[in-house]
């Protein structure tokens, strides 16, 4: 293993560049913005790629992964906390994403408080959610709704279909990040 930060994954500059450019184009299309400090942002992309190699998914580079997708589903980038943090602080927790006012130079990006609940609370919330999902699954549709409604937990997109889409058409989050809404 080589010395240095996240170096053991052997991620090349070219890879980081490629992913950065692809991600930037994709988020701009959906109305989001990456941090305009390109060096900073590329460091975060390198961290995401390192976490992909280590854990198999884009765990937030600024949070400790549980190495378990079910436990980390809330912190897979883009995380469930991104949009509220963009509203309150102008940046997400790791500052990969920033708000319009930061892009316009009207707001500074800084290190912000952690919004993710502590572990015990998250464990309890997951149990509750499972119960809720089971309840929803057995719920019958009588009259009012012709289809179940699914909510993307990353961006809030709603759709009425028999199942959630494979990928969120707005933010590209995967199917497992949808919850039954109605």
Residue from 4, 105, 143, 166 touching another protein (CB under 8 A): that is 4
HSE-up of 8 (CA within 13 Å, CB side)?
4
Exposed/middle/buried for residue 72 (C-beta within 10 Å: 0-12, 13-18, 19+): buried
Q: Does 47 bind another protein (CB under 8 A)?
A: yes
- Minimum CB separation of residue 165 from another protein in Å reads 30
Q: Does 43 bind another protein (CB under 8 A)?
A: yes
Q: How far is the C-alpha of 41 from the C-alpha of 35, rounded, in Å?
A: 6
Nearer to another protein, 40 or 181 (CB): 40
Residue 83, SS3 per DSSP:
helix
- Minimum CB separation of residue 43 from another protein in Å reads 5
CA dihedral defined by 50, 20, 176, 56, rounded to 10 degrees? -20
- Minimum CB separation of residue 80 from another protein in Å reads 15
Give the DSSP H or E segment for 92.
none
Q: Does 102 bind another protein (CB under 8 A)?
A: no
The position carrying tokens 């009259």 is: 143
Site for another protein in 127-166 (CB under 8 A): none
- Minimum CB separation of residue 111 from another protein in Å reads 4
Which positions lie near another protein, rule CB under 8 A? 1, 3-8, 40, 43-44, 46-48, 50-51, 61-65, 94-95, 110-114, 116-119
């Amino acid at each position: 293993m080589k010395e240095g930060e996240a170096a053991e994954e052997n991620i090349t500059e070219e890879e980081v560049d490629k992913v950065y450019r692809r991600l930037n184009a994709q988020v701009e299309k959906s109305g989001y913005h990456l941090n305009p400090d390109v060096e900073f942002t590329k460091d975060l992309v390198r961290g995401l790629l390192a976490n992909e190699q280590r854990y198999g998914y884009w765990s937030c580079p600024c949070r400790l992964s549980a190495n378990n997708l079910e436990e980390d589903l809330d912190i897979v980038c883009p995380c469930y906390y991104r949009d509220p943090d963009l509203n309150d602080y102008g940046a997400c927790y790791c500052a990969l994403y920033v708000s319009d006012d930061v892009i316009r130079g009207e707001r500074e990006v800084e290190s912000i408080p952690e919004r993710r609940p502590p572990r015990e609370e998250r464990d309890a919330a997951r149990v509750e959610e499972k119960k809720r999902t089971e309840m929803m699954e057995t719920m019958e549709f009588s009259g009012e709704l012709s289809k179940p409604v699914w909510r993307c937990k990353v961006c809030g997109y709603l759709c009425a279909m028999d199942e959630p889409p494979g990928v969120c058409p707005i933010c590209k989050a995967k199917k497992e990040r949808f919850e039954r809404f109605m």
